[in-house]
Structure 1
Amino acid sequence: MVETIIHIGFGKCGSTALQYSLSNTPILKANRKKYKNIKYITIDKNGQLYSGNNLRERLLFTASRSLSTASLTYFKGFSDEILNALRVKLSKLSNNNNSLLVLSCESWVKRADIFRENAILEKLNMRAQVICYARNPVEWINSAWWQWGAWSNQNLDSYIDRMVDKRVSKWSNELEEWRNIVGPENLKVKILPNDIVEDFYNMIGVELTSDQDNRANSSLPKEILRFYQQHRELRKSEHENQLDFILSRYLKLDSTFSKAPWVLSEEQVDRILKKTKESNIKLMEFIDPDSRKMNMGDERWWSKTAFEKKTISPACCKEKCLAYEELDKLLLAAIKGIEKLYIENMQLKKIIKKGNRKVPFPNKKQVCLPSQEK
């Protein structure tokens, strides 16, 4: 059987940062004798598998500079022919389990039923260790508001209730389903650390090098989020977020920019903690004993006092609320971003004019564009 690591989420728990690093360095050196290397792979909605340079080539056409495997809803529609082809490719990439294969998709955590009912592990001849990261529900909901809620035409109170009832309170049930599929020894649940990339790599046995220095922080600062709210055509709905990745890529959004506003009142924090207490206790059962003890003492999971020093900002901001200094800083970053984009565009034009289809990636390595692939 092919040895695999499957990262399943949850959402807003560092998945983009992890997928960014894995996508840009899809072949990693292992620090365990059992494996020669660790390979990141993705499978798209049509059942096409990508790895190595083929995967890196696809990054040229993504705004986020990261790739993940398609939703499990597509897997249940794969024909026997597609599944057989995938099984052969997985076996070849594994090289008799000299290589450990890694997949990632944050939406998989919610669809264990598809995984089980369609016997995906069995059909692909995979033996999997499943890894999931969780985050305290209060900070998770504040982050989720700026990712989805603020652009959903819902008020904050309604959004909180929906996220608690349909998302956070179901985390332990979703993990229970995965545990039943892969077994308790093959489900690893961790609380989101400061650096998910370093934590994940240490856990799976990657030898950390300078190639893993790349980090992607997909959370936009206050200045851009408030500007979005004043110009809703820039963020039309909760799922139209391509511009987020473009701005993160081309604007230098350093520590001089403010973090996303904190919108949760004391009453709302208290309500979230009370409604999620039971599910949080169940969630702790999935975490290793040492981490569980630490998290049981982390007030962010259990007490509203952990958030007393937060400065509360309005969830909605229809009037102009950016100071001149903030607009000036944003404009400067935008002009520099346009300059960066122009330089990149001119470099690509020179490459095309010379007939050299090799394109440099962020870490200085080069691959051929798909049209030149033989």
Structure 2
Amino acid sequence: MKIALSAGSTDHDHYANAKSMAEAMVHGDDAEVRVESFEGGALGCVVTGDRPPRIPLHVAAPDGSRLAIAGVPIAGSGGVTEILTRAVRQETRAAARTLSRLDGAFAAIHWAAANRTCSVVTDFLGVQPLYICHGEGLLLLASEVQGIAASGAVHIDMDPAGWGAFFCFGHALGDSTQLAGVRRVAPASILCYAPHSDRLEAETYWALDAISPRGSAQDLDSGTIKALLLQDVAAYSEYYSGGTLFFSGGYDSRLLLALLKESGLDVELLVVDHAGHFLGMEAKLAKRAAQNLGSADCRIVNPPDGFYNSADFLRYLAMNEVTSPALSLFISKVSQYVQPEMRAIWQGVGPGHVIRPPLGPPGGIERCFRCAST
């Protein structure tokens, strides 16, 4: 699920803002947009998929309080459902403290009707993206940058630092984005916002430097690590039972399948055979690993001819790359769709010059800098 929030003074049409933001984050036919108004704002959600999870991530309380979560939070004890049910009924700061107990990748927005304030909580590593724009009398939050741009409530201007980092490194640095005035909410953040006073407070509930590792890799207890992994498998299985595991011959796939087997969870295996890549070795290794782990239900599929020239592949790029900006696009496959009338800067800053990320092949943007300096 993706989330969007518009809150602040009554000078803004928060329902329209939240609706536009949510609709801009729809990238498939299986999505449903839901928008709810509250005093001083509106909350939008984009629900995807045809199999609702056992744990609802959009919760309401009898007094009108609301809680919406993007991502897949888990909990070590008590279960996610118990934590969400308690949090939605609490006042702002108590709800934020409760939500900060969650594990997994998530971003939560809570509206407390009792004290008419919002709280926002991100996971402790900041894996689940959430973007913020705070101006005079207006707070906007969205799972994607383009959601905030589509609100119609902010001036759209490019951020030179954000674009520079994007081109040079393939991703943003720190909390910057490609849109001026829009920032990514920091990891382990708790934000509290009062729409009636436009007061925004921020704090951090965890920091990496709080950990003081001692010892070496030889001191690690593999049994404890395995127990923690099995605990996470049990926590994630609260959402669904069964399902499909995208399987390969890699170590991570084998480890995950072994953990699922030990947890008593049966899943179907889906393997994509890349026949042109090392003579299809990926599928061969995956099939052998599945047999060794006792999984007979292994389906091997071949990508259809012309897939990389299809609309389905472009949809994949939009869902997987555009929503979380990165320069890991399959450029050679996309280039055929770039037409002159698009006026696109396709090869960096000039003909024949390609922008090169660190550790990339020789050439690239530094060639232009050398020419300019001489």
Higher relative contact order (CA 8 A, sep 6+): 1
Using structure 1 for the length normalisation, give the TM-score. Answer: 0.25
TM normalised by structure 2 equals 0.25
**Greater strand proportion:** 2
**Based on CA coordinates, which of the two structures has the bigger radius of gyration?**
2
Structure (1 or 2) with the greater helix fraction:
1
